[in-house]
Amino acid sequence: MKEIVAIITARGGSVRVPKKNIRLLGGKPLIEWVIDAALKSICTRVIVSTDCNQIEDISLKAGADVPFKRPSNISGNIPSELVTQHAIKFHENQRKCHIDIAVTIQPTTPFLSARNINDAIILLEKNTNLDSVFTAGPVQQRPEYMYLIDEDKKNVINLLDKKLKLCSNMGA
């Protein structure tokens, strides 16, 4: 069986919206929405990487694993890739097994569904020329997070002119 691990990156400190990952949305903490989606997906384990006791408690009650406290050197405003890499190393050392697919999930995406996660995993598995995929949806603000798909559907163009290769058979 493939080892597919969801890694939810949920630090405690947020400058713009304090404690955003545990704020209530629709009667439950924001992070619980993505935990529920990950638990319903084909992921074999759901890990929350956090430096916050409140996030840890909520995550455990929601059914996620919190096998470590995130170290302070990766608890600030840093790229999520570093947090994911740390969680992968921890998991592989702890379980003595290789992770086939790591799914990085941000707790600030409460409308993410198990189907979104599964579709991304399936797309990655079917396209061996890809080493990563991501989900995206319409946004209204923050141009550094906005992307356009070119006419040939081969490139994703960041509005700040960054380019990423797209799967050639992927539709818009």
Q: What is the mean pLDDT of the chain?
A: 86
HSE-up (13 A, CA, CB side) for residue 9: 22
Q: What share of the chain is helix, strand, coil (3-state, %, to 5)?
A: 35, 20, 45
**Using 50, 70 and 90 to split pLDDT, how confident is the model at 148?**
low
Where along the chain do its domains lie?
Answer: 4-133, 136-172
**Which of 15-19, 34-38, 116-120, 168-172 is predicted least confidently?**
168-172
Q: What is the pLDDT of residues 67-109, one digit of tens each?
A: 999 998 888 878 889 999 999 999 999 988 899 999 999 999 9
Which phi and psi angles does 126 have, rounded to 5°? -75, -25
The class that CATH gives domain 4-133 is alpha beta
The pLDDT confidence band at residue 155, using thresholds 50, 70 and 90, is: confident
CB 11 within 8 A of CB 50: yes
Report the distance separating Cα 100 and Cα 137, nearest Å: 26
CB contact set of 87 (below 8 Å; sequence gap of 6+)? 5, 7, 47, 49, 102
DSSP characters for 54-73? Answer: HHHHHHHHHT-B--SBPPGG
Bridge-based pairing of strands 4-9 and 45-49 is: parallel
- pTM here is 0.79
Reported as a single tens digit per residue, the pLDDT across 2-32 is 999 999 999 988 777 878 999 999 999 999 9
> What integer pLDDT is reported at residue 171 of this predicted model?
43
Structure tokens that stand for 89 in this block = 């190393």
